[in-house]
A and B are shown apart, each in its own frame.
Chain A
Amino acid sequence: MSTALSYFIIFCCVFIILTWAAYVPFRAGLLYNGTVYCMAIGGYFAALASKTWHWPFWVCIIGAIVVGAILGFIPALGFSRTSGIVTAVSSMALIFIIQSVIRNIDILGAGRGISGIPKIENLVLYSLILVLIVAVFIFRLDHSRLGRAFEAVQTDPDMAATLGVNVKIISVLGLTISSALGAVAGAIYAFNMRIIYPETFGFSLLLSVMTMLFVGGRYTQWGMFISVPLLWGINKWIPSSLAIYAQIIYGVILIVILMARPEGLVTRKMVAGVGRVFVRK
């Protein structure tokens, strides 16, 4: 496999998992901008664990999930008090806080970052496996009692509360799962880049994730498979004469989708339609 293709696949896997990390809280009606914060935690944990402590890949991933879930749980407790737009905007602050904290901790390389993260031989295969595992996990989650509770909260929090759903627990749970997924994405990212910087986990990454979520479709878990390759590889799809407009095109795509296709490219109806085809046969 060529270098270009393997990097493309791994980056797509990273962004698919990361977009799922933003998708899960959205199921519970929360726009959570802390996904990038969790990604930084996962990435730095994996970098440290593999470089300094020489942990093997899968142990690093599990460690990243645990650490990500714990450090995601703490702000999640706070955000269970807030809702809607307040959660969305105040969780942005987490990005600035984590960047600033990393820069002040010498063991995390401070401003220089951590370089020389060990190479993982079968990273393409591993990241595809992780995407599969997360896909199954989210599919099960969506079609479980819990998933329906999430959906009830998304549709109408007050109604959900009267039906006996504990809205606070649901939102804490959603944000914690999201943090764990974000950490997985961060870990793969670190292994792929082999070098990691605090600047990476900034505002522009957040915008990319949100664009991928909203363009792909945020009511189903499948939209990411279209939006991530489309947007990550945007320089490949547009002619090179338009390359300097790439970021403007990126923004325009997002605006057009938000205005004209409220559910994104892949809608719930489409998924249901595809499902019906299979059931009939």
Chain B
Amino acid sequence: MESFIAQVINGLATGSIYALIVLGMNLLVLVRDIVHQGYAHIIMITMAAGWITLNTSGGNIAMAIAVMVVVGVLVTMATEPLFRPLCKRGAQLETIVLAMSVGIILTEFMSQFVNSGGNFAFPASMRGGGITLTFGLIRLSLANIIALISAVVVALVLLWFMHKTQQGRAIRAMAQNLRVAKMLGIPFGMTGMIGFGIAGFLAAIIAILIIMTIGTCGPSLGDTFAVKSVILMLFAGMGNLKGGLLSALFMGLIEAMALAYLPGSWTQAIFYGVIMLVIIWKPNGLFGTAK
């Protein structure tokens, strides 16, 4: 029983990280109707920026966080112009490939230029002081709780933003029908930039939470998150914020259970097999798409 509870907590901890990434990707689906795999890699680069700042500033955490927010927002916004011509001509499929190549570039950049391609760890001070409650096998860290709460809070804030604010309505209108939205005078470039900027800010938050919960980063981190998050997003329904949150938490649990109780060599086949069957069964995702 003790180990079961420990595994549940492990699952929720990973699940909340997935949930945040899926939320960020869903936001970009709503903004530009793109599947942005490279978003996971942007989070990785943001973490690297934080690590470099910590090293050069002698462990100044406030400065590291500031740099991470700036890098997250700037890099995410910098990818917007890449997608713009594709979105304008309605080439949705091509955007997947473009996002993948953003991913390759960022991964290769990390393995060539950041810490000579090695992994790096963040100091304990940046990891929330390592405040943990331990009962035998069960370990509950402050960071895990913060990550879980942030996932829920971010989802609520995004829902409020998309449905209650002027900007959010503009974004949704644009995602639903670009031509009509333009006729109504919604600025295409500006709205997109704001959406990407928010996603970038979210990327910085996710990066900080990954630092607190996992504490390490390396060139392979982007790929680890990218495919799984994109597939999870489809599983839940593209652009569905609530669905994404729930299914990411659920998948985190399932994955931890599978890792703990199933023979390891089959986990991957089962995990992706089940997801694929669900997607084929319900092409709009379990919870339906946003439109």
Contacts and interface: CB of A to CB of B under 8 A. Distances in A.
A210 interface: yes
Interface of A, secondary structure class, is helix
A100 B268 CA distance: 6
B114 to A, nearest CB: 14
B231 A244 contact: no
Interface in A195-248: 203, 207, 210-211, 214, 244-245, 247-248
Nearest to A246: B108
A262 interface: yes
B101 A81 contact: no
B256 to A, nearest CB: 18
A259 B85 contact: yes
Given A89-B234, A262-B91, A100 B276 contact: no
A214 B96 CA distance: 12
B100 A93 contact: no
Nearest to B86: A258
Interface stretch (A116-124, A168-176, A249-257): A249-257
A251 B104 contact: yes
Q: How large is the interface on B (under 10, 10 to 19, 20 to 34, 35 or more residues)?
A: 35 or more
Interface in A96-123: 96-97, 99-101, 103-104
B66 interface: no
A247 B276 contact: no
B223 interface: yes
A104 B92 contact: no
A84 B93 contact: yes
A261 B97 CA distance: 14
A254 B265 contact: no
A251 B108 contact: yes
A251 B231 contact: no
B261 interface: no
B279 A82 contact: yes
Interface of A: 31, 78-79, 81-86, 88-90, 92-94, 96-97, 99-101, 103-104, 203, 207, 210-211, 214, 244-245, 247-248, 250-252, 254-255, 258-260, 262
